[in-house]
């Protein structure tokens, strides 16, 4: 008996459909990929927003610290020229029909240098520590940042203004 080509057909050649198990596994893999992609994107956006908020807080504190450089020793230690409490916004130039965004609440105070110097130095009576603290709430959590600088009695302010009077 001679077997012809037509009689030797492979029965699997005509099965071109996928089984149910293959379809379920593919769908599960696609779901895992999309959930991972969504999680990564949402984490990226949250990190970017948090970084922007931290940067704005740093800008506000730096604005006050740069203003401290303009005060002489008497204005810094004796007078009440430095505002103790302040409020700033994420979008400071928002118009009346726009939202100003997150509200930042801050404090600036001048204290003795000995508070932050250990052990106390002989020149600590001629120095002050300026502390700027800022607080804001966003995303259900409270955030706080602090910046500390020192100012000397015979610091940059006296040098600049003394040299221009000559």
| pLDDT one-digit tens code per residue, 103-114 | 999 999 888 887
Residue position matching structure tokens 């009695």:
153
Say what the pLDDT of residue 62 is. 93
DSSP string, 45-113: HHHHHHHHHHHHHHHHHHHHHHHHTTS-HHHHHTS--S-SEEEEESSTT--TTS---SEEEEEEEEEEG
**Does residue 160 carry a pLDDT above 70?**
no
- Model's pTM, two decimal places? 0.70
Residues with Cβ within 8 Å of 91's Cβ and at least 6 positions away in sequence, in order, are 98, 99, 100, 101
**Does residue 6 carry a pLDDT above 80?**
no
In the numeric block, which tokens belong to residue 147? Answer: 């910046």
| Banded pLDDT at 133 (limits 50, 70, 90) | very high
Residue 82 domain flag = yes
pLDDT digits (tens, 9 = 90+) for 76-131: 888 787 888 999 998 888 877 778 889 999 999 888 887 777 677 777 788 888 99
Residue 117 domain flag = yes
Residue 127 domain flag = yes
Residue 9 domain flag = no
**Does residue 42 carry a pLDDT above 90?**
yes
Residue 18 domain flag = yes
Residue 152's domain comprises 14-164
Residue 1 domain flag = no
Residue 136 domain flag = yes
- Dihedral sign for Cα atoms in the order 18, 19, 22, 28: positive
Answer with the residue of higher pLDDT: 79 or 132: 132
Residue 2 domain flag = no
Q: How many domains does the chain have?
A: 1
Say what the pLDDT of residue 75 is. 84
Over residues 137-159, mean pLDDT: 82
């Amino acid at each position: 008996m001679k077997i012809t080509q037509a009689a030797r057909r492979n029965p699997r050649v005509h099965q071109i459909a996928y089984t149910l198990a293959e379809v379920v596994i593919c769908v599960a893999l696609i779901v895992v990929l999309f959930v991972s992609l969504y999680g990564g994107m949402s984490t990226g956006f949250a990190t970017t927003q948090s970084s922007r908020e931290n940067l704005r807080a740093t800008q506000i504190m730096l604005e006050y610290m740069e203003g401290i450089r303009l005060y002489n020793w008497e204005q810094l230690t004796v007078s009440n020229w430095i505002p103790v409490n302040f409020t700033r916004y994420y979008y400071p130039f928002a118009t009346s029909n726009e939202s100003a965004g997150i509200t930042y609440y801050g404090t600036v105070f001048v204290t003795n240098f000995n508070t932050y110097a250990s052990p106390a130095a002989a020149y600590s009576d001629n120095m002050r520590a300026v502390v700027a603290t800022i607080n804001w709430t966003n995303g259900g959590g409270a955030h706080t940042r602090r910046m500390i600088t020192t100012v000397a009695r015979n610091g940059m302010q006296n040098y600049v203004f003394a040299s221009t009077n000559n």
